[in-house]
Structure 1
Amino acid sequence: MGRTGGVPDKLERYRSKRDAQRTPEPVPDVSPPSSEGNAFVIQEHHARSLHWDLRLERDGVLVSWAVPKGLPADPGTNHLAVHTEDHPMEYLTFHGEIPKGEYGGGSMTVWDTGTYETEKWSDREVKFVLHGGRASGRFVLFQTRGKNWMIHRMDAPARDPFPPLDPMLPTSRAKPPRDASPYAFEFAWGGRRLLVPIDGGRTTAAREHPWLRDLAESFGSRTAVLDGELATLGGAEILLFYDLLYDDGRSLTGEPYTVRRAALEALELTGGHWQTAPSWPGEAEAVRRAAREQGLPGVVAKRMDSAYEAGPSKSWLFVPS
């Protein structure tokens, strides 16, 4: 149904892209009535490529933009926002699996929902204030060319800057510390150090290691900087993570090792190419003996009260096996 009472059907384009018999998405068969609501929804959409769909209620429909990197976290960075077709109001709560091969095929979840205030709305510029559970603040969408727009954050939220990507390095000594109780002991894997920054479901480390795209995408909109080591185990290359420098907008470099380690373990990082490296508080000789038996170069003793500091540090000690 293209028109009702001579009024253009705002969902005509939406319907033309979908088959109600093949997708679980809402496909209403009548033109939506006009409304004055101010709801919004942001959906995390794992389609051909990860993106977030921002939808603002306007005159009975959800005016929509696909934002590949999600909402910008600060005013210093603008993100691409691709203007898509208007969606029905039922999309405020839609989540599910759109079948492969259908338009937008992939998993969709509700990332946030709430209300918004309109400061300006024109064909080329939309200024608004979000009031959601996860997303809040002042934003502006502005058209650049055709369906391509940009989204800019107009206020500055409380978010720590990313730490410098310089690893903390152990100093060497011949024997473990006499008192092992202040230390956690980890294997020295003999691999190559790799820090992995994740932002907007993407990581620059994937340029060299494309398989890291899957890890970054699994983080969704969560920001992180992971510290680990590329090692060869059983003939396969695996990335072993043993520290977390940044988590969801907060720098952890000033926190003690125990806090960083607990936050890292809470991420439950397990995949075909990566996992969380084990750590044993206070167990110097047993870990050193296990390293020797496995042909590893040694162990690293890490003071459990130490902050993360770039470069060589006496808080981390390499002890050969």
Structure 2
Amino acid sequence: MANKKNSSANTKKPTRSAPARSSRQAADAIDRQLARYRSMRDFTVTVEPSGKPVGRKSAAKASSSSLPFLIQKHAASHLHYDFRLGWNGVLKSWACAKGPSYYPGDRRLAVQVEDHPMEYGGFEGIIPAGQYGGGTVMLWDHGTWELQPGHTDVDAGLRDGSLKFTLRGTKMKGNWTLVRMGGKAAAKQPKPNWLLIKEHDSFERPEHDRPITEEAPNSVVTHRSIEQIAASEDHVWNSKDSAKERTQHRKDSPVLPVKARAGKTRSADLSADLAKTPKESLPRFIDPQLATSTTTPPAGSGWIHELKLDGYRIQVHLHDGKATLYTRTGLDWTHRMKTIVKELEKLPAQSALLDGEVVVLRDDGTTSFADLQTAFQDGTKKPLTYFVFDLLHLNGHNLRVLSLLKRKAILATLLRGYNKTVRLSEHLDIDAATFFNKACELHAEGIVCKHADSTYISGRSSSWLKLKCIHEQEFVIAGFTLPSKGHTGIHGIGSLLLGYRDGSGKLIYAGRTGTGFTRKTHSQLRTQLEKLHQSKSSFFDPPAEARKDAIWVKPSLVAQVRFANWTADNLLRQASFQGLREDKPASEVVREEPAPRPASRSLEGTAVNTSKWTQS
């Protein structure tokens, strides 16, 4: 390790712990954490570009980026900290009696124990007395880890007794080393003894600084103390059942049943959560909160992250068992989504206002706006799914004043046990850059990052940020060309002439798209555009390329377009038509420019999960 002077000036310390959650919120958070790690049993398998699992040798040398790490505070026969690194679908584990230290001079004993199942990484609760590890378990910290540059073989490091890695957690950050002890004394030990050592970097601390284990003693997920976890007993891990995968179950305190409109009984006792929120009548349409485009993932632990959806933003108003669905501009689309309406009207609430996205899911789990368009415009039978990511009003109470995490916790309780038509859009609070890279690998559209403590604010703000894996946005159609030679006689189009509004309201030419059409959309677009024909161009100072063979139309239709990038001449490259947008006025279409990312607030990490998709 390089020698470097310790300095309080360059020390980065975690923020003050947040208040502990209610017992039900805490239990819900652990359920989501368990689901996240359960999914990682397959998620962490290294694959080649072809999608086939790599061989043992190449896997051993694979990059460890995006791998999970966690530390569980474990009050068993004695209090200790279990340090775990996710690798090859399991958790490599060490028991550290005193816990980690940010002072590089401390060599903390870490006894290597057996590998643990990946799902155990999401556990916080009780292991019954008499079972292996019996006692209370807290999720003290979590995040991602990767090998330091120059150290590319995890299996070799484990075999040779030297691992150098970087941690990106809420409490644990920077460069660390695990070194296996040698000599005759070590050989006599029943289990391998290692040393966990902080390396010199900007995160290290002086010897007499307050230990991180005392500064931040509570759960990174629920913010509870070890005593509170023991008292609640909301989750139990049965280590005897691990081979049968019946390892954990949840124990809830009784809740009051609320009768659903369809006559079914469901549990949704939310009175305590609503007691301190302002009362109000069910609002009329509320302008939605929108995300600001950026190219830089936010840093810090005060953000939660959701996968970005490719669908229609829909606001639901539920009153006395009747649901009304509005687009982002306030158009009533209730009649167009009858299946979703039917399910929403079963919600156990007198009044509610939900914010979410309606999508069509492909077999690979991604969303497709083109498929959504065929479902709406052509009547193609494709199941619609409503992902709900926010709750703005419930039972006469204004929830917009609450933090995002509190709103989502109440929403999770409201939607508990719901079917595949109406789903909770869940989130992760891992490193944003890691999540973004993995989302792009899975061919998602991108991610949305949100401040965990933000209130709901209509309009575009820096509290919500969106990062796109692909370039896609709306453009105004201001003209078209006829099919090329060889396609004469076809009632269709050759290409669409696209544009956007600048700051002064002028329509700026952005280029053409001549791909992405089906035989049916070819004909439908031609029919629609011919009705909008006009003699003059609506573009401001269109170039010669725009004027060639152009047939001008009134700029009232909006197209969703996917493209590779912008050229140096500010024209679209490799643009592909995805469908018409019926939910956005042409006057609001602007060029989406990534904004500089605002300085992030430092907040302690909170709720986590694994599930899928979210909004634009």
Give 1 or 2 for the bigger CA radius of gyration: 2
Larger fraction in helix: 2
Q: TM-score, normalised by structure 1?
A: 0.48
Q: TM-score, normalised by structure 2?
A: 0.26
Larger fraction in strand: 1
